[in-house]
Structure 1
């Protein structure tokens, strides 16, 4: 499994923008340069775990979300996990899984 630093950087940028925090403020709060934050967000440099932890603390987000795009605390987490599992299944397996899910959803117990 390879790490896509552009995707990770994009998630960091989105989380930062969603919080209304500038690159300058994020860099200042981490005691790093603005250029370093810019490179991380563009996927031009990797980010070590210590700095990733600092970024997530400042942005009030989880490392899990930054790395995978999902969080176990989000509503869509399990849906995304199910979708990923289904991608490798044959049509016959998907049909069986659909029947099982349908019976569980329709169960009134």
Structure 2
């Protein structure tokens, strides 16, 4: 999940793996391995990643970023990532009445 969040934050900023690697003084292969979950990221590099991507370690590690209004939306999106189509349909049936409620 950490690698997926790093990739998403990087893509949201419009930054390539190469640019992120250059700004951290690491190899492109290292960034690729982190994003694919093949290698863990140490705290120093996590701090550098967060600085370049202008995001918080809280979001990268836990999927929430309470410093933005979008933190719950991001958390829900992350939870849906690995769900089957059938499960997503069930979730949609549950939340649709809540979303449509005018009260």
Q: TM-score, normalised by structure 2?
A: 0.67
The CA deviation at 1:72 is: 1.8
1:35-70 CA distances to partner (integer Å, 9 max, x unpaired)? 000000000000000000000000000000000100
Moved over 4 A (4+): 76-80
The CA deviation at 1:78 is: 7.3
Partner of 1:45: 39
Q: Which runs of 5+ in 2 are unaligned?
A: 76-103
- The separation in 2 between residues aligned to 1:66 and 1:25, in whole angstroms, is 19
Pairwise CA RMSD? 1.9
2:62 is aligned with 1:68 = yes
2:27 is aligned with 1:33 = yes
- The separation in 2 between residues aligned to 1:49 and 1:30, in whole angstroms, is 13
Q: Which runs of 5+ in 1 are unaligned?
A: 1-6, 81-109
The structure whose Rg is larger is 1
Q: TM-score, normalised by structure 1?
A: 0.63
- The separation in 1 between residues aligned to 2:5 and 2:71, in whole angstroms, is 16
